[in-house]
């Protein structure tokens, strides 16, 4: 081992810890056998927490000839992603136990997906971008179909896989065009080339790259897989899908565009504005007709990705910070939503439709309050957490001159408010239909995670923001055009 | 001159074979045309001086992927006539999309020819004749690209875990081999000597 390699490995220590730990967990699972699911779950949560500690305390720098970047943005992203993944392991472990499909591969796949997401947020060139994306999406395809005896889950996995492969193709095509035109894979060299000789060819490749990434974050018009996959995949897996991978892909999106293609900002900003407007429309109006809660949350995530993309489109440091704040707060809200959804069932059957929530206040007053808080937060009611995310995004977009788009976002929020308010009305003002059983005793872990997320949405967010504001400011520093 | 002829012959064969892959009625013929397309692409790589890539294309795509395709086509009970239903009705839209894509690619090619990477100093590093492809790749694969190489390994591991998670089922009716127990057997546990009276033999009860 050369000292160079040791230095590089030290910079990339969090990936190393996670990848090696994942392999060890796989061995533990393979040798202990079927009964190891619980043990591997506990160990993988510990591993993810340890990796986030390693990431937070590790050295900054560039490693492996620019393929790996450890900067404040990458570290912020990694800590958030690893913790969200650990929560997904906890939520999923209990649920799989109850569904009798608990196996040790679930936490192992999440750990390996977290390796890929870590690669994504700290990728410094096009190859590590692509390998990171493939690494995490391959694990997600398997997780979507994890409940293999469930027809809908298999359908979700297959659909996700086929459309994901298509988007990977687009991504690769774009990357190869960019490489062809600039002669380099590294974002900084691409940026240097683009400054020296701007051309339409680079933008052509960039558009393909944006299409591929927009698919991964399920932004309209590349969203068609989202409702079906979210409906069919196991609920804790969907909770995972909406949080960590989304944040990873958004940070990757922001990094690729602002590090490699800031010169072409005028061009890609148009594309992103279009994508974000389309996401507003699809997310807000598509959600109105939904009856299934998971489908509704799929449309909600499409609309919310629109706001996050608007933050990137601003192209400024404030815009990137807005995107990170928004995604963090959104992740907590949506994780809470899914945790509560996992904790609700009647006669052992999970609650799936919005109508099932009717009269919940009699059964489970605290949970009803939690859902109310989370709904109000996602729709952006001040002073709940969702409001602050949108406040940052709209502020950044308006100061970058996109106030028309910000106004369209506001209109979309108002439309989307309808379906959140309908949930609240059903829970508090409608009686449960006759003959419907009371809800079962809630599993401890998902109930507490849900309540904790709701408590964060309000009132803890006020305290949280005083810490989140400087942290995201440091993470976003040095990006964009000032 | 000779290179030019070889290029046009092989690219023409590749294009025609590619067209026949999608139009052939018999799926087995499609796979065979695919193999031809791979071979002519490998030839194009040789012309570019990338003989290692050409070899990989033949070994991996022809040797493994195409054979796998053949197995799937021959062993799975897929009704290809039904798959082709609606071919004519989708054709106009598909032709428009393909036409747009083709036009775009031609435009990009013209751009490149007029002064993209080909005419620029930022062109990829090309190793001289003093070093073979294999040597050039070997020098960077485990040094410069070790991070990506290992990550690609994890991608393959996930694919393997995924295949096992989604398809492996424990069947109680299937008896599995236990090599440890099999090799650890000795004479005492597996063989029993019985005294057999001459002319009487053994009954079936005694054999148990």
CATH number of B5's domain:
1.20.120.1200
Q: Residue B4 — pLDDT band, cuts 50, 70, 90? A: confident
| Chain A residue numbers touching B157 (CB-CB < 8 A) | 23, 112
pLDDT digits (tens, 9 = 90+) for B133-178: 888 888 888 888 999 999 999 999 999 999 999 988 877 788 778 8
CA distance B187 to chain A (A): 30
* In a domain? residue B183: no
B184-200 pLDDT, tens digit each: 888 888 887 777 878 77
pLDDT tier for residue B125 given thresholds of 50, 70 and 90: low
pLDDT band at residue A133 under the 50/70/90 scheme = very high
Q: Are residues B45 and B15 both part of a single domain?
A: yes
Asked if the model's pLDDT at residue B80 lies above 60, the reply is yes
In this prediction, residue A349 carries a pLDDT of: 82
Quote the minimal CA–CA distance from A274 to chain B in Å.
21
What's the mean pLDDT when you consider all of chain A? 90
Same domain assignment for residues B30 and B98 = no
Note the pLDDT tens digit of each residue in B24-65: 888 888 889 999 999 999 999 988 888 888 999 999 988 888
Q: Taking 70 as the threshold, does the pLDDT of residue A248 lie above it?
A: yes
CB contact under 8 A, B144 and A183: no
**A112–B158 CB contact, under 8 Å:** yes
Chain B positions touching A12 (Cβ under 8 A) are 147
Residue B97 lies in domain? 90-118
Higher per-residue pLDDT: A246 or A263: A246
Residue A418 in domain: yes
Contact assignment for B161 to A204 by CB distance below 8 Å? no
Does B66 share its domain with B94?
Answer: no
When mean pLDDT is compared across A213-217, A412-416, A425-429, B71-75, the lowest value belongs to: B71-75
Residues of A in contact with B117 (CB under 8 A): 180-183
Give the residue-averaged pLDDT of A411-421. Answer: 90
- The distance of A153 to chain B (nearest Cα, Å) reads 11
CA distance A427 to A233: 25
On the question of pLDDT at B20 being above 70, the answer is: yes
- The alpha carbon of residue A158 is apart from the nearest alpha carbon of chain B, in Å, by 11
Residue predicted with more confidence, A195 or B204:
A195
Q: What per-residue confidence (pLDDT) applies to B122?
A: 46
Q: Is residue B182 assigned to a domain?
A: no
* Structure confidence at residue A482 (pLDDT): 41
Confirm or reject contact between B2 and chain A (CB < 8 A).
no
In the prediction, which pLDDT does A99 show?
83
Q: Does B146 touch chain A (CB under 8 A)?
A: yes
Identify the residue among B112, B122, B180 best suited for mutation to test binding to A, counting A beta carbons within 10 A and taking the highest.
Answer: B122
Over residues A267-319, the pLDDT tens digits come to 899 999 999 999 999 999 998 888 899 999 999 999 999 999 999 999 889 99
Confidence of residue A129 (pLDDT cuts 50, 70, 90): very high
Query: Quick check: is B204 in a domain?
Result: no
- A268 located within any domain: yes
Determine the distance in angstroms separating the CA of B116 from the nearest CA of chain A, rounded to an integer.
5
Longest CA–CA separation in chain A, Å: 73
Comparing A459 with A19, the larger pLDDT belongs to A19
Residues B7 and B68 in one domain: yes
Q: Cβ–Cβ of A201/B116 closer than 8 Å? A: yes
Residues of B (95-124) whose Cβ lies below 8 Å from A: 104, 108, 111-112, 116-117, 120, 122-124
Least confident of A456-470, B71-85, B99-113: B71-85
**What per-residue confidence (pLDDT) applies to B127?**
59
pLDDT tens string A440-463:
888 888 889 999 999 998 888 888
Size of interface A-B (CB pairs under 8 A): 98
In which domain, by residue range, is A289 found? 262-482
What residues does A186 pair with on adjacent strands?
Answer: A125
When pLDDT is averaged across residues A187-193 and rounded to a whole number, the result is: 88
Separation between Cα atoms, residue A121 and residue A250, nearest integer Å: 9
What is the per-residue pLDDT for B129?
A: 63
Which member of A19, A131, A183 has the closest CB to residue B123?
A183
ipTM, 2 decimals? 0.91
Tell me whether residue B143 is exposed, middle or buried, using C-beta atoms within 10 angstroms of its C-beta: 0 to 12, 13 to 18, 19 or more. Answer: middle
Does the pLDDT value for residue A115 go beyond 60?
Answer: yes
* Window from A155-164, A451-460, B118-127 with minimum mean pLDDT: B118-127
How open is the CA angle A202-A224-B104, to the nearest 5 degrees?
Answer: 30
Q: What is the pLDDT of residue B118?
A: 47
What percentage of chain B exceeds 70 in pLDDT? Answer: 89
Total domain count for chain B? 3
Region of B166 (left: φ > 0; alpha: ψ -120 to 50; beta: rest) is alpha
Which residue among A64, A115, A180 sits closest to B117, beta carbon to beta carbon? A180
Residue at B15 is within a domain = yes
Task: Specify the DSSP class assigned to residue A353.
Answer: B
Contact A142 B108 (CB under 8 A): no
Residues B39 and B99 in one domain: no
Say whether B158 and A139 touch across the interface (CB within 8 A): yes
Which of A67, A183, A184 best probes binding to B when mutated, by most B CB atoms within 10 angstroms? Answer: A183
* Nearest CB neighbour to A145, from listed B164, B166, B170: B166
**Cβ atoms A183, A193 nearer than 8 A:** yes
Q: Which of B141, B161, B171, B176 to mutate to test the interface with A (most CBs of A within 10 A)?
A: B161
Overall domain count for chain A: 1
* Binary contact (B161, A131; C-beta < 8 A): no
Task: Return the pLDDT at B121.
Answer: 43
User: Rounded to two decimals, what is the model's pTM?
Assistant: 0.89
Q: What's the pLDDT at B128?
A: 62
Asked whether residue B119 carries a pLDDT value surpassing 60, the answer given is no
pLDDT higher than threshold 50 for residue A383: yes
- Closest Cβ–Cβ partner in A146, A157, A181 for B116: A181
Average pLDDT rounded to a whole number, residues A310-333: 92
Query: Over chain B, what HEC string results?
Result: CHHHHHHHHHHHHHHHHHHHHHHCCCHHHHHHHHHHHHHHHHHHHHHHCCHHHHHHHHHHHHHHHHHHHHHHHHHCCCCHHHHCCCHHHHHHHHHHHHHHHHHHHHHHHHHHHHHCHHHCCCCCCCCCCCCCHHHHHHHHHCCCCHHHHHHHHHHHHHHHHHHHHHHCCCCCCCCCCCHHHHHHCCHHHHCCCCCCCCCCCCCHHHHC
Q: Would B200 be classed as within a structural domain?
A: no
Residue A116: the pLDDT is 95
pLDDT of A43 over the 80 cut: yes
Within a domain: B33: yes
Tell me whether residues B161 and A109 touch, CB distance under 8 A: yes
Q: Which residue of A has its CA nearest to B164?
A: A105
């Amino acid at each position: 081992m050369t000292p160079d390699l040791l230095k590089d490995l030290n910079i990339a220590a969090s990936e190393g810890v996670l990848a090696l730990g994942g392999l060890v967990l796989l061995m533990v699972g393979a040798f202990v056998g079927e009964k190891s699911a619980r043990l591997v779950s506990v160990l993988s949560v510990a591993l993810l927490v340890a990796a986030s500690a390693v990431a937070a305390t590790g050295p900054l720098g560039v490693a492996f000839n620019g393929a790996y970047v450890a900067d404040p943005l990458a570290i912020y992203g990694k800590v958030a992603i690893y913790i969200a993944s650990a929560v997904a392991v906890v939520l999923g472990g209990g649920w799989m136990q109850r569904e009798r499909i608990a196996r040790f591969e679930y936490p192992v796949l999440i750990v390996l997906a977290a390796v890929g997401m870590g690669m994504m947020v700290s990728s410094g060139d096009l190859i590590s971008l692509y390998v990171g994306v493939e690494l995490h999406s391959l694990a997600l395809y398997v997780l979507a179909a994890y409940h293999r005896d469930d027809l809908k889950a298999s359908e979700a996995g297959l659909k996700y896989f086929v459309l994901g492969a298509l988007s990977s193709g687009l991504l690769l095509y774009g990357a190869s065009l960019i490489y062809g035109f600039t002669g380099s894979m590294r974002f900084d060299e691409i940026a240097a080339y683009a400054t020296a000789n701007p051309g339409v060819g680079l933008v052509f490749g960039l558009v393909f790259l944006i299409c591929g990434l927009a698919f991964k974050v399920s932004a309209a018009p590349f969203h068609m897989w989202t409702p079906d996959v979210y409906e069919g995949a196991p609920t804790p897996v969907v909770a995972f899908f909406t949080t960590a991978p989304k944040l990873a892909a958004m940070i990757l999106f922001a990094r690729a565009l602002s590090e490699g293609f800031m010169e072409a900002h005028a061009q890609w900003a148009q594309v992103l504005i279009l994508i974000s407007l389309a996401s507003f429309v699809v997310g807000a109006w598509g959600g109105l007709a939904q009856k299934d809660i998971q489908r509704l949350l799929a449309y909600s995530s499409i609309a919310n990705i629109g706001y996050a993309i608007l933050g990137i489109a601003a192209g400024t440091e404030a815009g990137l910070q807005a995107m990170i704040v928004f995604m963090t707060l959104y992740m907590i809200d949506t994780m809470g939503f899914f945790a509560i959804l996992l904790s609700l069932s009647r006669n052992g059957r999970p609650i799936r439709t919005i109508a099932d929530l009717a009269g919940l206040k009699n059964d489970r007053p605290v949970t009803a309050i939690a859902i109310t808080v989370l709904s109000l937060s996602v729709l952006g009611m001040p002073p709940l957490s969702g409001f602050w995310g949108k406040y940052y995004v709209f502020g950044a977009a308006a100061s970058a001159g996109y106030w028309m788009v910000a106004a369209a976002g506001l209109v979309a929020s108002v439309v989307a408010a309808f379906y959140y308010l309908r949930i609240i009305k059903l829970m508090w003002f409608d009686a449960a239909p006759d003959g419907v059983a009371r809800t079962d005793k809630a599993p401890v872990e998902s109930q507490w995670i849900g309540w904790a997320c709701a408590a964060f949405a309000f009132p803890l967010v006020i305290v949280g923001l005083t810490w989140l504001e400087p942290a995201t400011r440091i993470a976003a520093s040095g990006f964009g055009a000032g | 001159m000779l290179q030019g002829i070889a290029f046009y012959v092989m690219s023409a064969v590749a294009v025609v074979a590619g067209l026949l892959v999608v139009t052939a009625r018999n799926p087995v013929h499609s796979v065979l045309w695919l193999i031809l397309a791979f071979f002519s692409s490998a030839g194009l790589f040789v012309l570019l001086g990338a003989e290692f890539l050409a070899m990989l294309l033949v070994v991996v795509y022809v040797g493994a992927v195409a054979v796998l395709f053949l197995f799937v086509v021959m062993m799975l009970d897929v009704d290809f006539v039904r798959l082709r239903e609606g071919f004519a009705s989708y054709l106009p839209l598909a032709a428009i999309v393909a036409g747009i894509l083709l036009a775009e690619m031609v435009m990009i090619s013209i751009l490149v020819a007029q002064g993209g990477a080909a005419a620029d100093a930022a062109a990829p590093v090309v190793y001289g004749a003093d070093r073979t492809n294999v040597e050039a790749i070997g020098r960077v694969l485990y040094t410069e690209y070790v991070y990506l190489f290992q990550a690609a390994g994890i991608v393959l591991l996930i694919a393997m875990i995924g295949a096992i998670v989604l398809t492996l089922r424990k069947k109680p009716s299937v008896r599995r081999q236990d090599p440890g127990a099999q090799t650890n057997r000795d004479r005492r546990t597996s063989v029993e000597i019985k005294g057999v009276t001459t002319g009487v033999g053994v009954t079936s009860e005694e054999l148990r």
